[in-house]
Every structure is written in structure tokens, then in C-alpha cells.
Amino acid sequence: MNIVLLGSGNVATHLGRAFKLAGQTIVQVWSPDINHAKELADTVASEAISDLDDINRDADLYIISVKDDAISELASKLKIGDKLIVHTSGSTGLEALEGVSSRIGVFYPLQTFSKNKAVDFRQIPIAVEASNPEDVAVIRAIADRLSERVMELSSVQRKALHVAAVFACNFTNHLFAIAQELLEAENLDFDLIRPLIAETADKIQLNEPESVQTGPAIREDREIILSHLEMLQDKPELQELYERLSQNIVNLHKQSQG
Amino acid sequence: MNIVLLGSGNVATHLGRAFKLAGQTIVQVWSPDINHAKELADTVASEAISDLDDINRDADLYIISVKDDAISELASKLKIGDKLIVHTSGSTGLEALEGVSSRIGVFYPLQTFSKNKAVDFRQIPIAVEASNPEDVAVIRAIADRLSERVMELSSVQRKALHVAAVFACNFTNHLFAIAQELLEAENLDFDLIRPLIAETADKIQLNEPESVQTGPAIREDREIILSHLEMLQDKPELQELYERLSQNIVNLHKQSQG
């Protein structure tokens, strides 16, 4: 299968490598910045282009993997006839590709990609969608070569998955950044808390989050909560966040108890 | 070393097992509920008591491991002479034990303990503190038998460590619970997101949180953020949390850039 990859960010990079490993051919990598295109093209033995007029019109699959708000505009500039084209966004509907081709779809790998860290693509869930059933089958077959966990989701389901991922991954990582800030203010190393973070994620692999919730909020230990809020008095943003999250934990607990 | 363990919750349980494994003797386990005391006493080959008058006065170390707001009251009821007594709380000062003995201290293991999941105590940071230097050395020697990561922290530092842990562990786990709620509302399984959670924690083991932050907020992808807020419109608590955390990510990013 011949693939044209449009984009050179984290998702495009990891996807390109995974396709290459799975024996597919990336015929071109496009990026508005030719140096970015070249950097990725080199690692997947492909041609780099920055002019959309140079696009190869004979590929089997075109993958748009750019910032969400740039997908529609880029798609509208493509002259590729009735070829299969997909985007890789969690929260962008299929309709962002309408008018480009009659064969449009989505190929959304659910993972947090950092350029310098390899991931095991076999375990990454890939949500697929397409405007017609034949193309669902085609995209699914492509995804099956990369991952053991491929599923067809509607745009609404995929978006829910993306929002859930923002909470479980992006916001979680931000909480780690806050922890680091608090530690460094007392000359403590972030390394102190790394085993706790590892265990917090590890616990969840075999348990439901609610059943392993710990801490002052779930115990409704008002005295400790107040003393923590007092400690955060010079950081009103964190104080408010602490209060809100604690209250949410209490509320969720009450709700689930009936 | 002969130890009396006061408490039978998650921390007391894991601590009792770890001491036992390290070859120490738990002479008694006290809990106001004799059945709880027995349950833990059985697993550490100890005697169970529920009456404080029955406390063994010849032990070398008394460990109070109860809810933070119950420490002072329990301590004030103990008649143990001038024996070494510690509590295991992150956010409770040394002074909660004042008046019980002249040898008071803190032994705070930084980890999230769930009763049915074993943890590798060797990797758990233990923060120690005591009112006099000799007892710091004694408590440190005890801690060294359980963990490779023992350090002396002041009450203020320990509290900062605890607040950081609340953000990095308790609040993080709550974000996982929110993710589950969002997935289940669209008939999606929480299992879909478990690899993402594992990778989010794994990335942080060798990186700084800020350098691996991903998602719509750090990209300032306003269109996606708005579409997520719209999706959460029936859940005002989550909508507000989403908005606040996104704004915090943007703020932190701007701050660190300049």
C-alpha cells in the first residue's frame, strides 16, 4: 500500500514509523516547512514535498495529520481525485473532509506521542470511521496491521474518547507539573514523587478508579484539606483547583453511594 | 525491634507487612474495632487489642497510623512513658504528639496504598523527622530496613510533599474516574484508555512534565477546546474543571516561556 503523509508533527512521525515497520510504503511526506518534511521523510525512506502541487496522485491512501484547526483548509486544497483520504483527529468530524473526495474517513490512534519516546503501537487503540462501509473495511484492514485494538467508532463516540483522554492524559500530566512546582518551592526533587505516579497509573490497570481513590477528600478529612488550602494561599489558582477537585471527589463518592 | 502498631487501615496494613518482611516483630496491633485489629494482627503474627489499657509498655517503637484528625486524641490517651512514638501522616506536624513522650517523631511513607495490591516498599520514599537528633538516627535506621529512599524532612517540607502527592496521585486518580464516566456515557469501555494512562505515567519517569505536555490546551487549539466544552454542557462541574485546567496549562506554559 502506497501512502502519502500530510503533516510532520508527533502523530505523523509516530504513524509514519509504525507504517514503515509494518511494511507499508510512505511515498511522500508533505509539510509546509520543507525541512520538517525532510526530517520525517528521511526516517521513513520517503520523498519530502512542501508544495501541494507536487503531490503524488497515484497513492492508495492520503493521511492528514496536522493541527485540528488546519485540517479542513488543507483538505480543500488537495487535488487527488476520488482517492481514500483520512484525518487522524479525535475531535474533528468526518465532515471536515467533505468535498475533497467521495472516499473519506478517520484514523485516530489514541495515545500521547512525544517525538523522542518510542511506543508499542500494537497496544494502541485505533478508532476508525468512513463515509461508506467498503472504506471502513479498507481502513480497518490498514489499522489491523499496526494495532491489535482497532474499532469502528462514530464521530460522537470518538469525540467522547478524546475528551476522556484529555482528562486522563493531558490534564493528568498538568497535575504532575503542579506537583513539581510545589516540590521545588520547598527544595524537593520531582524524583521523590515518580514512584507514586507510577503506582497511581499501575493500580488503575486492574482496578476501577473509584475503587482505589485515596486521599483527604475521599476520607472527608476537612482538617487536612483546610491545612492544604492554607499552604496554597499564595497560589490562588492552585488553591481553587485543589478545592474544586476535592469537592468533585466528595460529590462523585456520594453519587455512587446512592 | 519490638513494635506496637496503632491502626489497621491501608497504611498500617502495608507498613505492618513490610516490617514483618524486614524481620521486625509487631508485638501488638491496636484498633478500636477488635475485628479490624485481629485481621491485621493475623497477617503479621501479632496480638490484637482494642483497649488502650492493654497496651504493651515495653515495646521499642509505637507507630500511630490512623486518620490524621484522630492522631492527637489517640496519642493523648497513650500511657507508655518515655518511649519512642511516631505518626505516619504527611500533613500532621510533629507537635500532634507533644506531651505523650519526650521522644516523638514522624515516619511518612509516600505511596498510595490499597489493601489488596502489594507494593515494592524498597522504592517508597520515607520522610522521617524527630524532636531530637538521636531519634532521627533511630527512626532513619528503622526506615532504612524497609526502603532505599529515606530522607529527613521538616514538617513544612513533608506537608509540601503531601500536597504535591494529592495533586499527582489523588486528583490524578479522580481524573481517571471522570474519563471513565465520559466513556461509559457513550458505551465505551474504560479499558480503551488504560494504555494511554500507562504511557502518561511512563513518560514522566524520564522526563519533566512540562516538556511532555500534549493536548489542545498546550497547542491553544481554541476550536477543539470550545467543541469539548460544548460536549460537556450537561455536566457543568466537568465543564468548569475542563476550562480551568486548560487555562492553567496555558498560563504555566506562558510563565515558563518568559
Distance CA A210, CA A35 (A): 47
Kindly tell me if the per-residue pLDDT of B254 is higher than 90: no
Tell me if B197 and A204 make a contact (CB, 8 A cut-off). yes
Query: Are the C-beta atoms of A214 and B207 separated by less than 8 Å?
Result: no
Q: What is the ipTM of this complex?
A: 0.90
| All structural domains of chain A with their residue ranges | 2-153, 159-257
The count of CB pairs under 8 A between chains A and B is 333
The answer to whether the CB atoms of A169 and B214 lie below 8 A apart is yes
Beta bridge partners of A215: none
Nearest C-alpha neighbor of A173 from the set B211, B193, B112: B211
CA distance B173 to chain A (A): 6
* Three-state secondary-structure class, residue A190: helix
- B175/A175 Cβ within 8 A: yes
**For residue A141, what pLDDT is reported?**
95
Rounded CA Rg of chain B: 22
Residue of B71, B72, B167 for testing the chain A interface, max A β-carbons within 10 Å: B167
List A residues 131-160 in contact with B (Cβ-Cβ < 8 A): 149, 153, 156-157, 159-160
pLDDT value at residue A118 = 80
Helix (H, G, I), strand (E, B) or coil at A191: helix
Cβ of B215 within 8 Å of Cβ of A190? The answer is no
Question: Quick one: pLDDT band at residue B117, thresholds 50, 70, 90?
Answer: confident
* Average pLDDT score over residue span B87-111: 94
pLDDT at A205: 94
Residues of B in contact with A240 (CB under 8 A): 244
Question: What is the helix (H) or strand (E) element at residue A2, kind and residue range?
Answer: strand A2-6
Q: How many secondary structure helices (H) and strands (E) does chain A include?
A: 9, 8
pLDDT band with cut points at 50, 70 and 90 for residue B145: very high
Integer angstrom CA distances of residue A132 from A84, A102, A255: 11, 9, 41
Closest CA to A239 of B166, B179, B178, B169: B166
Tally of residues, chain B: 258
B186:A156 CB<8 A: yes
Angstroms from B96 CA to nearest CA on chain A: 13
Q: So what's the pLDDT on residue B116? A: 74
Tens-binned pLDDT, residue by residue, of chain A (258 aa): 899 999 999 999 999 999 999 999 999 999 999 999 999 999 999 999 999 999 999 999 999 999 888 999 999 999 999 999 999 999 999 999 999 999 999 999 998 887 777 888 898 999 999 999 999 999 999 999 999 999 999 999 999 999 999 999 999 999 999 999 999 999 999 999 999 999 999 999 999 999 999 999 998 888 899 999 999 999 999 999 999 999 999 998 888 876
Strands A84-87 and A104-109: parallel
Beta bridge partners of B152: B128
**Taken in order A107, A135, B191, A164, is the CA torsion positive or negative?**
positive
Please tell me which residue of chain A has the smallest CA distance to B194: A205
CA distance B3 to chain A (A): 26
* pLDDT > 70: percent of chain B: 100
A170 DSSP assignment: I
> For residue B114, what pLDDT band results from cuts at 50, 70 and 90?
confident
Confidence band, pLDDT 50/70/90 cuts, at residue B47: very high
Residues of B within 8 A of A215 (CB-CB) are: 166, 169-171
Specify the pLDDT at position B258: 64
**CB contact (8 A) between residue A241 and residue B248:** yes
Q: What is the mean pLDDT of residues B235-248?
A: 96
In this prediction, residues B118-123 reach a mean pLDDT of 86
A199: nearest CB among B119, B153, B241 = B119
**Domain with residues A2-153, CATH architecture:** 3-Layer(aba) Sandwich (3.40)
Which residues are within 8 A (CB) of A81 and not within 5 positions of it... i.e. 6 or more apart?
A57, A101
Contact with chain A for residue B112, Cβ under 8 A = yes
Tell me which CATH code domain B159-257 carries.
1.10.1040.20
Q: With H, G, I as helix, E, B as strand and everything else as coil, classify residue B26.
A: strand
DSSP state of B123: G
Residue A213 to residue B123, Cβ atoms within 8 A:
no
Interface of B with A in 12-31 (CB under 8 A): none
Residues B151-164 pLDDT 10s: 999 999 999 999 99
Q: Judge whether B230 is closer than 8 Å to chain A, CB to CB.
A: no
Helix (H) or strand (E) run with residue A128 in it: strand A126-130
pLDDT exceeds cutoff 90 at B188 = yes
At B228 the pLDDT is: 96
* Cell numbers found for residue A195: 514512584
Place of cell 506537608: B159
Q: Please give the mean pLDDT across all residues of chain B.
A: 94
Q: Label residue B67 exposed, middle or buried (CB < 10 Å: 0-12, 13-18, 19+).
A: middle
Quote the pLDDT of residue A105: 97
Distance CA B111, CA A207 (A): 17
Cell of B27: 508485638
**What own/partner pairs with CB < 8 Å and gap ≥ 24 does A88-93 have?**
A88/A11, A88/A12, A88/A15, A88/A63, A88/A64, A90/A127, A90/A158, A90/A159, A90/A161, A90/A162, A90/A165, A91/A158, A91/A159, A91/A162, A91/A163, A91/B216, A91/B224, A91/B227, A91/B228, A92/A68, A92/B224, A93/A155
d(CA A58, nearest CA chain B) in Å: 32
What pLDDT score does B94 carry? 94
Q: How far is C-alpha B199 from the geometric centre of its chain's CA atoms? A: 22
Residue B79 predicted with pLDDT over 80: yes
The grid coordinates of residue B24 equal 521486625
Backbone φ and ψ for A127, nearest 5 degrees, come out as -95, 125
Which residue in A62, A58, A70, A57 sits closest to A135, CA to CA? Answer: A62
Dihedral sign computed on CA atoms, order A74, A75, A76, A79: positive
Assess contact for A46 and A28: CB atoms under 8 A.
Answer: yes
C-alpha cell at A167: 482528562
* Residue B225: pLDDT over 90: yes
Q: Are A131 and A150 in contact (CB under 8 A)?
A: no
Hey, is A68 helix, strand or coil?
A: helix
